[in-house]
Structure formats: structure tokens, C-alpha cells
Structure 1
Amino acid sequence: MNTHAASRATATSNQAIIDGLYCATLTRDQFERTLAGGVKAVNLTATTPNTDLATCMSTLANLYRTVAENADRARIVTSVKEMSAAAEDGVLGIIIGTQDATFLDHDVELLRVMQRLGMRILQPVYNDENRFGYGALA
């Protein structure tokens, strides 16, 4: 490897590479492969579109369990500071996100609860219609 290529490789390895739509199976092996690919953090689609609140909460509980079981490989992050700390520790930062807000049903106040649970990215509408808008197929 020439000097230019080596310096580019070093610069790339120091960048914060964030996967904006992480839909992979949450396993230790997948966390390790993601880290090996140079990814520092992921926006995890934690709940699928058209999910009700009970299913959403169950999915989040499973996510927290899986992350706790793999604490040396993954960590839920809620800020840039936490993402940076996870990257420095060699741990995959997981940003909890969702692709629609159907699970909120008619209670926008649940947004505060979801924020307390770590959700940081929320797309109001996916393809269908919900209280918050109309998707491409509505």
C-alpha cells in the first residue's frame, strides 16, 4: 500500500460512519461484522411500520435485552457524545428509530415516553395513512 492509500485508510477509519437504515438481525455475529466494516453507529429500525403500542414495547424490551447480553459489542446511544464514547470503546452505537408513528395511536404524549426509552429518530408516516399523515400508498 502506498503512502497516499495508507493515509486515506487511516483517515477513513477515524471517521464516524453511521448506517442510516440498519435492519439486520440483532446477533453478536452481526454486531461484530458491522464493527469490522468500520461502522461506528446505526439507526436501528426498532419497530416495523403499522406496529401497535404493545408490539412496539415488546420489541424495545427485546432490543434492550439483546444489547445488555452483548454490552461489549453494542450500546444504545442517545446523543453525539454517547456515540463518540461508544466508538472510542470499540462498541457499536445503536440509535433507536422507527419508520412510522402508528404505535403512538392517538396519544402524542407517548413521544415523551419513547424519548425516555431512547428513541431518537421517528419517521411519522411510512407507506400507509395514520394519524400523522399519508404515505405513498395511502
Structure 2
Amino acid sequence: MSWFGWALASAAFAALTAIFGKIGVSGIQSDYATFLRTLVILMLIAGIVSAGGHWRSPAELPGRSLAFLALSGLATGASWLCYYRALQMGQAAQVAPIDKLSVVLVAVFGVLFLSERLSLTGWAGVALIALGAVLVAWR
């Protein structure tokens, strides 16, 4: 499968994350719900890594990779904590589009920090994503 297929699968699973998470977080403190979800993810990924024979000692990995993976993990954890708190307080159909403003931020950060370039058409798409997210979430 190409990057596009994987990205579509990611979008579908992210949509299910919002729906299942909204149902699952009712009656449970959001940080604890995030912890339980993380345990499930850890077990799933550990099984996939084990089945694929991809275990490596972290000592074998470049320090820069480890540092940025740690930062990514911290950002993911913070994102999940905020997301579940927002789901507990708001409607999934409002929370998910605002969360997807991350697409806009990735475009901006990609240009600022990774020297990526977007065409005028690309920037128009980013602007439409931002506008669409706000319009869907607006009540």
C-alpha cells in the first residue's frame, strides 16, 4: 500500500478513535481513560514489533533519533490528554475538526523547521482545511 492508502487508513482509524473515545470516556476521568487507552496501544504495538522481529536495543539507536522520538512521545501524550479532556466536555463532531487543525500546524511547522515547501495551491488547501475545521466545529 502507498503512503496515500496508509494515510486514508489513519484517517479512518482516527475517526473511530473519536467515536469510541467519546463513548468510552463517559463516566470515567479523562486522564485515566487516556492511560487505559495507552496501555492497549502499548500491547498492540509490542505484539506487532514482536511478530515482525523488529526489537532492537535502544542503545543501538542514534541519540538524535531517541531524543526526537522521546519529544514526539511527550507531544503525543499531551495531545491525547487534551483530546480526551475535550471529548469529555464537548461533542465529538466539534472536537475532532478542531483537533485536525494539526494538519494546518504541520504545514506551517514543516515550512518553518523542515524546509518543506507548499505551492500556492497547497497553501489554499491548508487555508480551506482551517476554515472547514472552524465551520464544522462552530455551534
Q: TM-score, normalised by structure 2?
A: 0.28
Higher relative contact order, chain-length normalized (CA < 8 Å, sep 6+): 2
Q: Which structure has greater strand proportion? A: 1
